[in-house]
Structure 1
Amino acid sequence: MSERTILVWFRNDLRIRDNEILLEAVRKADKVLPVYCFDPYYFKKNISGNSKTGSLRARFLLESVADLRNNLKAIGGDLIVRIGSPVEIISQLAEEYHVNEVYHHREVAYEETAISEQVEAALWKMRLNLKHFIGHTLYHKEDLPFPIKDIPDSFAVFKKKVERDSDVRPCIGTPETINTPVITDAGELPTLQMLGLNDVIDDTRLSAIFIGGETTALTQLEHVFSTSLQNANGKPSRNQSAAGPSSKLSPWIALGCVSLRQVYWEIHKHQHSAPANYFNALVLDLLWRDYFRFMFKKHGQKFIATKNEDEQTVTTGGEDELFESWKNGETGVPLVDAIMHELNATGFINNYGRQIVAVFLVNDLKVDWTKGAAYFEEKLIDYSPASNWGNWAFIAGVNDARESKYAIVTKPAIELELRSDYIDTWLPTVKSVDYQDFSDTVAIK
């Protein structure tokens, strides 16, 4: 009887822990062929002439893929890396290694699902199956108290029903060993130049640099809880984000270097080590992520395609100039400029900062919200399609649920203790802010 080979197509699930496609493949196949494709589609130029994926995010991705390869090697495997269309690469590898089936995690945003459909169609012609798994959410869709088509459009209703009627599944095991076919050419990781990008020059004001990969994700996860009491009772340091404290787990979550379930169960394990309700905002973050993914699954591209028909978009003259001033941090509004300087220099700002600059672009400058969303896509190292475009759509009032508008923070900016190297003009401080007041608006951290 011939050996059974399963190709595992990694995308935004760059980990070996709590990874269902990897564990299931190891259990059901004689040989497992792990593959990652650097798809040129994600590095093409956008309408502004910049790469769809900026250098900071691309570097984080390269580090994450390299770490995945190292972790697979540690259990006896390897990772095939290729640059090119997944349709061509997966098909070619499936034929070369006599693959019986291909596994991958299902995506929800239209660009990602379109690529999956193209791969599925190509494999179907080869009489091979592309098996879909669900591995990007906290709650498994089969455990929701309603079918996808009936998911409440209101986040408040979604949260209440899910927390009351559903349970988070435990994390699954980690393969101890993996058997791969004899790989003649695993492929080298591309450089930034090979992806059409420039090298990253790290900003001198950086207190820490985000390093991609599951290994660093686990270190950061441990750090979040080991410092929880200090952070809960202390004040933001000068080197902290201009917009307040953050767990800063989202870059690793976005690429699946750590699963939402693993973060959730770590919170559950460490709740006793911090003041009551201290981790509520982080759990809320995980729920918002689920909500946006399920909204994309329910509504598809309609979720962000057009503005509500009953609303008229009012724009001002010189929109391009206004947008340029916003993205370069040259609006003349110190808080907004500080946050944008930090985004451009580091590829990361916390959720509160994102809300501030997004609301300013949409409501004050009257600039098309999609320009801001596309700019975040390029710059953010923790870019996730559903969370990014979902957040921007909500702030702009673009969704099928009229009631589900963002509850934007009402604290005046002057009340924030602005201690940031990314702002040239120091704003006066009136008093400290209880950041827990903002927990109900957290969607990305």
Structure 2
Amino acid sequence: MTEIVDIILSEANGSFFYDDQAAIRSGLEQDGFTYAGNPQTPGFTKVRIPSAALSIGLVLSDGAVIWGDMVSVQYSGAAGRDPLFDRDTIATVCRERAMPKLIGSECVNAAENCAKAFANNSNEHVPLAIQYGASQALIAAAAYAKRCTMTEIICEIFDESLPTKPIPIFSQSGDERKLNVDKMVLKKVDVLPHGLINSKEKFGPQGEIFLDYIRWVAGRVRKLGAPDYQPVLHFDLYGWIGLGYSRDPIEVARFMAKCADAATGFELLIESPVDYGERAAQIDNYAALVAELDALGTPAKVVADEHCNTLQDVRDFCDAKAAHVVQIKTPDVGSLLDTARAIGYAKKSGVGAYSGGTSAETDLSARACVHVALAMQATMMLAKPGMGVDEGICIVGNEQNRTLAQIRRRLATERVQ
């Protein structure tokens, strides 16, 4: 059997930046790529800082080293999330609490190893960034030991059939919200454009600028896309219907119906229309919003993100019918096995399971997430990392296609035998 004999850490870079959401929402103006003003969220020394990561490498008894990346989300410290990622703190906790439990463990036991490494033996949970990166490495090590894909390991753990079809990919535009739409349409992305509607300038005094943007995106798809190209239009508003229009669920639903009219002919998803400030209020108001949207008969659907962080959060949003789709933001969930559980729970609840993440993570974590989305057959998954469109589509799309090719060959071989 192949065992873990040592663990090493290596500094790594995230693909984008960590942003102080509270400071940006307060109305700070952009100064080039930076923001003019002071940070408001604890841990931030500036409003926008480069994202950091820390790689964890499992040294195996046969000399191989299997890696995972520990990282946090772009808007760290907001909406109930773990604090801003600090590489030194994460390294210390990892060495003291998670790593010693893994030495001597057999690689094939991915689920047992994750449970052992993340067991809460004190008053503090193992930081989610550690759970995220270490679970990537532990699942990859099991796949290495069994000579299979990470997808097959996850399918085995959760008794899922091996996937044979791809998961729709959702691409995000960043601030290049027009140029990047053209890229997405030319590449026939399944879900687009995200839009990064995170300021008054992008939303408008009463939402007019955003409505015009929806019309522009729909028109651009019709102009540049093939006749049979019918992507889902998905916009992330970072709470700006609540900030710039109304917080009343009935009024929010009516505004979202206007958005659906602007997107006529396309399925429409609106992520984070309002941030109600804390978890219970978010669930209660989103449940009311979902009920009102359904009563109106509008095709507009609400996607939960803020305050829907952990596996338990996902379960609670689903139980309350507080979303049509939940974003399962992988670094906020922690262990990739908990992401798998969250996807499975959402699907059984009749809620769309969007396997998301963040522009701030790494190529390695992005590829690892593909396997969870594939194994659990998520509704869609995010093209990540970064905000450049091309790179995320390449990394996530290629990993998905390679994995499916391997699985198809394995299934074909088994049929022959």
Give the structure-1-normalised TM-score. Answer: 0.27
Higher Rg of the two aligned structures: 1
**Higher strand fraction (1 or 2):** 2
